Amino acid sequence: MNLDELAVAALVRDDRAHLLHPQYYAPEHEAPVIFASGEGVWLTDVRGHRYIDALSSLWNVAVGHGRGELAEAAAAQMRMLAFANGYNGFSNVPAIELAAKVAALAYGNMAGVFFTNSGSESNEGAYKVARFYWNLQGRPQKVKLIARERSYHGGTLATTAMTGLPVFWQHFGPLLSEIVHTRRPENLECACAPNADGECAHWIEAAIEREGAESVAAVICEPVKGAGGVWTPSDTYFSQVREICDRYEVLLIADEVITGFGRTGRWFALERWSVQPDILTIAKAITSGYVPMGAFIVSTPIMDVLQQLPPDARFMHAYTNSAHPTAAAVGLRNLRILEEERLVERAQAMGDRLGAGLRAALGGHPHVANIRQLGLIAGLSLVADAERGTTYDPAQFVGREVARHLREKGGVITRFVGDQIVLAPPLVVSEAEVDTIVGALAAAVGAVTSGTGAHAH
């Protein structure tokens, strides 16, 4: 597609008049980039401009754009059986096969898969199933959920409350009071190696103590906090969190909506530290974004409770499109691509190249700090003075300007979170494309930050 300016102007006019976008702020849509097609890590807009998609669109297009195999899987399934409901004694073939496949790929203790249509629905369902489990265990007072600062868990009312980024709460309150966040305990003295954003497992322990373990159903954690700016954990963090949850009888929910299916160089991120959650939530890369799908997956003890309910109890949780046959068929084909092309191993190798490239190009830069990377997900902080540890005045919008320069001059698209720049290219990215991303980002950082230090605060 290569539209003339009149046709583009008509699209822009209708977009502005009628399309309400996620995280809507109208001025951002005055001159939108309107995408038309994609191939591998490349996106092309309606004017024919090409960009490297350095965030897999929204961390989801793991196998890259333009995969005919996935289009064919969807078309074949739609011809065979477009839809049939999975309620009250009904099922369908691809959903059964995908549930078995996901259960086999996930942590060894995982048993039951409930399919959703998004990460938000997965986390909402995980919280409901945690409450349901404790209720059935005769402990109905265990209703609270502990979430962490800088986490992102979704856009429904409950997952908005879980999200630890206050900008997502504004003008939506009051939020659910049973969902609380960790904060730095007063007078904390510990020998823990901190996570990249400074927290440690004692923050979770302190939150459970503060709320009272008898009232807490679960803790929810992203293994790597993604949308909050890509913050990686220390190597001991999740084994400590697991031990704390066990000690206080609190379920551990791993939100692997971003990290699931290879992003961190493992099928699921906590494998790296030999930790298993009680509930795992996924979405995004299960279908590489070609069609919407997500799931929450429960461990054997929770599955046992769900399968042996007393006659008067039923898990009354449902979505019309749960286990949609087309989404399941695409998911199965997508997982085959990940396996056949060994993309999980590739994520580790290309991620290490990305991390090494970022450290070499920007490690000593006066306006860059805290470069972090785990597999093929990376982030860095733009700062007023790396040596003195001072941050930029948010009103300078340095992150936004770097991302804009990167797109307009470097032809690379990614996101910024305040002054954090985040990267997560498709797992099919080549060595040369990784190097292009690093080079373009270094150029953008250099161009935007030269002369910005004077405004530090």
Ligand X SMILES: Cc1ncc(COP(=O)(O)O)c(C=O)c1O
Angle (nearest 5°) at CA 158 between 154 and 159: 15
Q: How far is the CB of 91 from ligand X (least distance, A)?
A: 24
Which of 55, 99, 204, 257 is in the footprint of ligand X by CB under 6 A? 257
Judged by CB under 6 A, the stretch of 153-161, 172-180, 307-315, 331-339 that binds ligand X is 153-161
Among 57, 92, 123, 420, contact with ligand X (rule: CB under 6 A): 123
296: tokens are 């929450």
> Contact with ligand X (CB under 6 A): which of 227, 244, 269, 298?
227
> By three-state DSSP, how is residue 126 classified?
helix
Instruction: Give CA–CA dist 223/267, Å, rounded.
Output: 13
- Among residues 86, 119, 357, 425, the one that binds ligand X under rule CB under 6 A: 119
Q: Is 255 in the site for ligand X (CB under 6 A)?
A: yes
Q: How far is the CB of 176 from ligand X (least distance, A)?
A: 16
Sorted by sequence, the CB contacts under 8 Å of residue 362 that are 6+ apart come out as 368, 371, 380, 441, 442, 445
Taking the C-alpha atoms of residue 195 and residue 144, their distance in angstroms, rounded to an integer, is: 24
Stretch that binds ligand X, among 130-138, 219-227, 238-246, 418-426 (CB under 6 A): 219-227
Assess 222 for contact with ligand X (CB under 6 A): yes
Please report the DSSP string for 128-184 in residue order: HHHHHHHHHTT-TT--EEEE-TT----SSHHHHHH---GGGTTTT-S--TTEEE--P
Cα within 13 Å of Cα(329), Cβ side:
20
By CB under 6 A, residue 228 contacts ligand X: no
Which residue stretch of 117-125, 308-316, 332-340, 352-360 sits at the interface with ligand X (rule: CB under 6 A)? 117-125
Using the contact rule CB under 6 A, the part of the chain among 188-196, 253-261, 314-322, 371-379 near ligand X is: 253-261
Q: How far is the CB of 373 from ligand X (least distance, A)?
A: 17
Q: Which is nearer to ligand X, 297 or 361 (CB)?
A: 297
250 forms part of the interface with ligand X (CB under 6 A): no
Is 368 an interacting residue with respect to ligand X (CB under 6 A)?
no
Return the ∠ at Cα 353 (arms to 351 and 354), rounded to 5°: 65
Peptide bond preceding 174: is omega within 30 degrees of 0, i.e. cis? yes
> If binding means CB under 6 A, how many residues of this protein chain bind ligand X?
16
